[in-house]
Structure 1
Amino acid sequence: MPAAAAARDDAQGWAAATVNVDLGGGFRASNETVLRFSDNRGGLYEVEDNLMVGYKPNKQVTLWLGYTHNPQYDHGDFTRMEHRFRQQVNVDNFLQLGSVKFSGRLRLEERWREGQGGPAWRLRPYVKAAVPVKGKLNLVVSHESFIDLNTSAFQRVGGEERMRNSMVLSAPLSKKLSIEAGYLMQHGFVRGGPDNHDHVLTVALTANF
């Protein structure tokens, strides 16, 4: 296999931990930390910390504002620091077909990279379907697109940049703690060259207080 063709595929592992806190009055706070590891990039290549505050006007909708701190690495060496301002709307259980429940999210991000400027605007629509398997165990299938709304020094091509498709098993570990684990395929669109494919094993813990 030619080296250029081999470089398009990467084996990765992502681990995430999220803490959600009910602040009362419909308000809530959330902190999510994601560690991403890559075979091609020699181990840990990204630490994403997301701090958000949300307001839930009704049972289905949550409005969020937040900030993302995102240092990035390559083979153990720090490469860049990215900052993001995030706004999103979550809609839970907007559709049910039999026992399958559908939820969605629309996220808008403004991104800055130190030394490279910004903002780079990006839209991230996301939809998932939860299918009961047995008891409280669910199979969750999801799709997310990354759509670049402008160009900048580091966001050079407008339109759909990548998409993520995942399939995970989700289950509660206790009344306040749940786990998801499974597979995610990230497809990166490359203009004028071969597309990228990241094959990712994922595990995520979520605590609700």
Structure 2
Amino acid sequence: MALAVAGTAQARDDAQGWAAATVNVDLGGGFRASNETVLRFSDIRGGLYEVEDNLMVGYKPNKQVTLWLGYTHNPQYDHGDFTRMEHRFRQQVNVDNFAQIGGIKFSGRVRLEERWREGQGGPAWRLRPFIKASMPVAGKVNLVASHESFIDLNTSAFQRVRGEERMRNFVGLSAPLSKKLGIEAGYLLQHGFVRGAADNHDHVFSVALTGNF
């Protein structure tokens, strides 16, 4: 029994790989369209476990601020088997280069999501504040670091506890591949808060391509 209790108290550590591709299109008149696709792979879940497709329309009232509305289509899997479908309505505000300390530039985002899962209802409301620092290190290569918190605002059939559910901390490098294409890659630690037990950790190699047209 002591061994069993000790086993349940251990944190879950998972090795993961995330790949993302984003296309941003200038529609003119301050309007923009964006499509982001994210594939997530997990050692514990036996390969591909999540696909996120995010389609958004934004309006840029000035050089720093962009207002976005969008929809997320999010099928999830476990060892190759489909487990659930999640739908999200997304609203967010992006602020670019809102502060600078020496050569370090700061940008941020506040995202509000309403989530529904087929067969489990909703909505589950979630707030996701995000901050990112960027500093040039060699030529056009930048060292980047970011933090994002996931804060559950209510409870539902699948969102059980209010408050901070998890956080993501990232450090990596970004660089342009061409005038319109850029890459960002590095290490991301996803820390999951577990009430009454040890917290979980996902150790992620993350790579993202972004095209601006």
Measure, in 1, the Cα distance between the counterparts of 2:172 and 2:155: 33
Q: Which segments of 5 or more consecutive residues in structure 1 lack a partner in the other structure?
A: none
Tell me whether 1:131 sits opposite 2:142 in the alignment. no
Aligned position for 1:187: 191
Query: Structure 2 counterpart of 1:13, which letter?
Result: G
TM-score of the pair, normalised by structure 2 = 0.96
Change over 3 Å in CA distance of 1:43–1:6 after alignment to 2:
farther
- Tell me which of 92, 95, 118 is aligned to 2:96: 92
| CA RMSD between the two structures | 1.2
Aligned position for 2:150: 146
TM-score of the pair, normalised by structure 1 = 0.98
**In the TM superposition, what is the alpha-carbon distance from 1:184 to its structure 2 partner?**
0.1
- Tell me which of 155, 177, 180 is aligned to 2:181: 177
Aligned position for 2:52: 48
Tell me whether 1:119 sits opposite 2:123 in the alignment. yes
Query: Structure 1 counterpart of 2:149, which letter?
Result: S
Query: Across the two proteins, how many residue pairs are aligned to each other?
Result: 209
Measure, in 2, the Cα distance between the counterparts of 1:42 and 1:7: 19
- Tell me which of 23, 35, 38 is aligned to 1:34: 38
Secondary structure at the counterpart of residue 155 of structure 2: coil
Change over 3 Å in CA distance of 1:122–1:106 after alignment to 2:
same
- Tell me which of 195, 198, 203 is aligned to 1:199: 203
**In the TM superposition, what is the alpha-carbon distance from 1:4 to its structure 2 partner?**
4.0
**In the TM superposition, what is the alpha-carbon distance from 1:5 to its structure 2 partner?**
5.9
**Moved beyond 3 Å, runs of 4+:** 1-7
Query: Structure 2 counterpart of 1:103, which letter?
Result: S
Measure, in 2, the Cα distance between the counterparts of 1:199 and 1:183: 7
Q: Which segments of 5 or more consecutive residues in structure 2 lack a partner in the other structure?
A: none
